[in-house]
Amino acid sequence: MRPSLPLLSLFSLLALPFVNGAILPRTPLLDVCAHVQLNLLAELGIITDLLDLLSLGLPLGITGEVDVCLCLSALPLFLTANVDAAAAVSIAGDNAVSAVLEAAINRIAGGNKCQYPPHSKSVCTAETPCGYQCDTGYHQVGNQCLLAAPSGHARARSLAAAPTCAKAGEKVCGTANGKRQWECVDVLSELESCGGCIFAPPFPELASTTPLGTDCTTIPHVADVRCSIGACVIQKCNEGFVPSSDRTACVASERAPAAASHRKGGKHAHGHHVVGDILGQMVGMVVGK
């Protein structure tokens, strides 16, 4: 008989923040990143069919599915921040789950390593696994992150005229560190500045035309969310809640079993994604009796 995961521990896991795309700011100059799609419980040999999944006693909505851009350096945080990964760890242990994810990242990356300049953090996305963003106070010039504005009179001169960002989708935004600092932010995919700037740019001509953004991670009851083309798209909500029809909010579910039928974009990997669909149907049939 396979070990069962305590329900209380999994309920607490559902409250953990999870971000799809940029899992955490990473500082290594070299890393390996890839967009991973698999079912952890199936890859670990814990489940092979619906009965296996039901026997684990997992809360509705947790099936072991992983669909995220992930870097090797981000694995330790991912194992606790992602509810499905945390569930797999509680059953199989850190080492086993890390080994599966590490092998998947290396296989998909095909030996390609990501290289980042000093003063930057990686921003892993499905389209650009090796993407990066310059730290606060720096801006991208070619393949380097340089100080956005020097000190003294030179800094005052640089702030006299509004700067521009080199990449499409980037906006000049202010920072939390002060009114006179700025950075280039990709508001089309940045989870905490989705659709616009959280902090208005310190340039009057830009402040009046730059839209305010949304911090997708602050949406109430959200468990898994991403920023897609400047809009927050909710993938999964906490226990008792489901994504709204436009996936911009988590609303209370009318029937708790309905949460189990929520799928992540209908994608399939290694033939295991169908487990979540069957589980939702079976639970619905039982409740309907």
Which residues sit opposite 232 in a β-bridge? 227
Distance in angstroms (rounded) separating the CA atoms of residues 60 and 242: 11
Q: What is the pLDDT of residue 94?
A: 92
Q: List beta partners, residue 184.
A: 172
Q: Which residues lie below 8 Å from residue 288, measured CB to CB, with a gap of 6+? A: none
Q: How far apart are CA 195 and CA 229, in angstroms?
A: 8
Beta strand 222-228 with 231-237 is antiparallel
Question: Which one is predicted more confidently, 283 or 58?
Answer: 58
- Alpha helix segments (H runs only) across 36-123: 40-43, 50-55, 75-81, 83-92, 94-109
Give the closest residue to 187 by CA, choosing from 206, 167, 163, 207: 167
- 249: confidence class by pLDDT, cuts 50, 70, 90: very high
Q: Using alpha carbons only, how large is the chain's radius of gyration in Å?
A: 21
Q: Which pLDDT score, from 0 to 100, does residue 179 have?
A: 64
Cβ atoms of 4 and 56 closer than 8 Å: yes
pLDDT band of residue 160 (cuts 50, 70, 90) is low
Q: What are phi and psi for residue 74, nearest 5 degrees?
A: -90, -5
**pLDDT for residue 17:** 37
Least reliable range by pLDDT among 49-53, 113-117, 195-199: 49-53
Instruction: Residue 218: count other Cβ atoms within 10 Å of its Cβ.
Output: 11
Question: Is the pLDDT higher at 49 or at 97?
Answer: 97
E strand or H helix that includes residue 140: strand 138-141
Tokens read off for 58: 């997992």
Among 12-16, 88-92, 196-200, the least confident range: 12-16
Is residue 58 within 8 Å of residue 10, measured between CB atoms? yes
What does the block give as tokens for 75?
């694995």
What are the DSSP calls for 198-217, one per residue?
Answer: SS--S-HHHHTTSPB-B-GG
Measure Cα distances from 88 to 23, 49, 103, 150 in Å.
18, 16, 16, 48
Tokens coding 190: 């940045």
Alpha-carbon span 121 to 112, nearest angstrom: 18
pLDDT tens digit sequence for 211-231: 889 999 999 999 999 999 899
Percentage of the chain beyond pLDDT 90 is 29
Question: What does the mean pLDDT of the chain come to?
Answer: 76
Q: If you search the block for the tokens 């590490």, which residue do you land on?
A: 102
Residue 157: which pLDDT band, with cuts at 50, 70 and 90? Answer: very low
Where is 156: in which H helix or E strand?
A: helix 152-160
